[in-house]
Amino acid sequence: MFYCFGLYCISIIKCFYNSPLPFWVDPDIIPIGHCELSYGNPTVTQYNIVFFLTYNVYMYLSKYSANQNTLLVYFLYFLIICCSLLMTFVSAASGRTYFNQTLISVFFSFSYLVMAILLDDIVLILSENIGFIVRQSRKYKFLLLFFCIGMLAISIGAN
């Protein structure tokens, strides 16, 4: 749920920010490989590395694990940092994004990761209260429905 909402936030930010990709501006830059035709800031690739991988390592190997292997967790965090740095430089060197776009993407993804970790317990309690069996949870179901309809209306309006 956090991942999908983060992708939604990235799409909205891209619509408002309208940051061009390098090969749109400079005809001398020939991108290597397949390049998306969406705006460049923030990039989904950095979001996947910084948020998705780190969140999964944290949730499955740290927070909800019966026996934690701290050496493995720290090694995986180190690999994620190395992959993020490598992707930052490779994206800039290959002409896929500007360097500042990837740095902003890393900042957004890390900020969103911290927010998701801090709100995880609250979202877990709310999702348990919204259970379809519980009769008194109808209020929460309607609030969730109206929230989703509002997000859909905003996304249609932004496009």
Alpha-carbon torsion 37, 40, 46, 48, what sign? negative
Kindly tell me if the per-residue pLDDT of 132 is higher than 70: no
> What pTM value is reported for the model?
0.69
Give which of 50, 104, 115 is closest to 79, Cα–Cα: 50
pLDDT at 94 exceeding the cut of 80: no
Q: What is the pLDDT of residues 21-63, one digit of tens each?
A: 666 666 666 666 655 555 566 777 888 888 888 888 888 887 7
Is residue 106 over pLDDT 70?
yes
Residue 79 has pLDDT above 90, yes or no: yes
Query: Average pLDDT, whole number, for the chain?
Result: 77
Question: 152 vs 116, which has greater pLDDT?
Answer: 116
- Domain segments of the chain as ranges: 2-121
At residue 82 the predicted structure's pLDDT band, cuts being 50, 70 and 90, is very high
**Which residues are CB-contacts of 3 (< 8 A; sequence separation ≥ 6)?**
51, 52, 55
Are the C-beta atoms of 43 and 105 separated by less than 8 Å? yes
Mean pLDDT for 3-13 is 80
Q: Are the beta carbons of 42 and 14 closer than 8 angstroms? A: yes
